[in-house]
Amino acid sequence: MKLANYVYGQWIEGAGEGAALTDPVTGETLVRVSSDGIDVARALEFARTEGGAALKALTYEERAAKLAAIAELLQAKRAEYFELSLRNSGATEGDASFDVDGAIFTVKSYARAGKALGAGRHLKEGGRVALAKTDVFQGQHFLMPLTGVAVFINAFNFPAWGLWEKAAPALLAGVPVFAKPATPTAWLAQRMVADVVEAGILPPGAISIVCGGARDLLDHVTECDVVSFTGSADTAARMRTHPNVVARSVRINIEADSVNSAILGPDAQPGTPEFDLAVKEIVREMTVKTGQKCTAIRRILAPAGVSRALADAVSGKLAGCKVGNPRSEGVRVGPLVSKAQQAAAFEGLAKLRQECEVVFGGDPDFEPVDADAAVSAFVQPTLLYCDKGLAARHVHDVEVFGPVATIVPYVDTRDAVAIARRGHGSLVASVYSGDAAFLGELVPGIADLHGRVMVVDAAVGANHTGHGNVMPTCLHGGPGRAGGGEELGGLRALAMYHRRCVVQGGPAVLEALSRDAVDAALLGA
């Protein structure tokens, strides 16, 4: 079977044999995808003129109601999506929940938040500005929805959540969505879009999806479009310098590589709640989705006197995690999504081993449960130890996209700050400490290079949302190496899909334009 693409209000099968999507446990070919023969320029223009116009005719609260209907539909088909996650991604039930339930939760969150914007169709920012000696001539700043398309080029690790965490705020803003999911796991995203289309929830052109290669997609984006990309820094660099993107100053949002850190404070000694909470979170981040999360912990910074005890504690927990076919009872850790990703992980792990000691895993003869190692895509959870600090190179530069993390001991707080910053920009750092003096120095010392800093102490306990969990009400993104992008953050995400302008004129004109406007301050509420 070949998956069809949904463009210009039609389902169209791409030409040629297409690329195979496989089961990463058995190696079986499941379906094929192809974008060959798709008129991308026509698809984008249809989305702008048909889908965009229909969405903008609705109020914010009417668009929010559409999102609520989508969430209800996705919830009803949750079991089907879990099965697709198992087959195409090798997801355990917990992995599928992280992706699918995360998507549903995010859409529901924007459906609820969008109600607060009421019957408006655009946003008004601040009060009027006097431009003359009397009120006869004034200025008013507005945020107007873009007349273009939100183009999403997504990563393979979150085919469900990656689609809807971007699509929900775009649709709420009144901007149509054009999704290009990563080829290896495109089936789930395609099925979700197909279900929404079949249900008739959105107007024609409001959502499109193309599976397979992106081909000439960036040749056809315009100054009124938004391109949002999640993936490698190398691909991001090519996108930023694409001639059409540069020439037309296309708005672009990037989430790229990130060597995120977990940092233990000096008070997080063995036997303390902070130490135990750190161990639990490190193991969870190494095993959930087999470490295939852009937010996963890659470096573990610990006081030098504690680092070996931490290595022993994490290793002990990893030893109890059964790795293999998610269809088998008791399996907690599944495969990577493809043999190509497995090869990339092995390549990165080999670089890390040049300057690290393996304290758990790394067994070349590792045998997964109920799976053939020769055809499957498993990587044994591997914990490394590097005592080179800032002198290390690969530990701070190589992101192994799999179940691999490295413990790096530090000397003092200044050293911890320097090591964390050596990542050159990350999505998230989690800190396990109740030491006010340590936190008062560390958090400000790393905050400008991290999109999110999560602080966990005994009082927080198990109530925190998790190092790797991206909450729809909080910012997702990071500076520098992490791409410099920003997504989510509640209604703040709508700013990406609006353009600020000032209208200068008489009071009557500004009053007329303000009737359909909602206070932009609500975006930060």
Backbone φ and ψ for 326, nearest 5 degrees, come out as -60, -15
Largest pairwise CA distance in the chain: 82
212 contacts: CB under 8 Å, gap ≥ 6: 5, 14, 18, 19, 33, 34, 35, 36, 183, 186
Distance, in Å, from the CA atom of 25 to the CA atom of 378, rounded to the nearest integer, reads 8
Active site residue 294: yes
The number of residues making up the chain comes to 525
Query: Do residues 21 and 30 touch, judged by C-beta distance below 8 A?
Result: yes
Where are the alpha helices (H) located in 436-500, listed in sequence order?
436-446
Closest CA to 507 of 199, 129, 194: 129
Distance, in Å, from the CA atom of 293 to the CA atom of 296, rounded to the nearest integer, reads 5
Backbone φ and ψ for 128, nearest 5 degrees, come out as -75, 150
Helix (H, G, I), strand (E, B) or coil at 416: helix
Q: What share of the chain is helix, strand, coil (3-state, %, to 5)?
A: 45, 20, 35
Residue linked to tokens 């903008």:
56
Distance, in Å, from the CA atom of 162 to the CA atom of 170, rounded to the nearest integer, reads 13
CA angle 260, 245, 9 (to 5 degrees): 95
CA angle 452, 457, 459 (to 5 degrees): 120
Query: Measured between alpha carbons, how far apart are the two ends of the chain, in Å?
Result: 47
* DSSP classification of residue 29: E
Query: Do residues 95 and 290 touch, judged by C-beta distance below 8 A?
Result: yes
Closest CA to 331 of 35, 94, 81: 94
Catalytic residue among 255, 274, 285, 399: 255
Closest CA to 489 of 440, 435, 444, 452: 452
Helix (H, G, I), strand (E, B) or coil at 154: coil
Catalytic residue among 294, 386, 486, 487: 294
Task: Provide DSSP, 373-384.
Answer: TTTS-----EEE
Active site residues: 255, 294
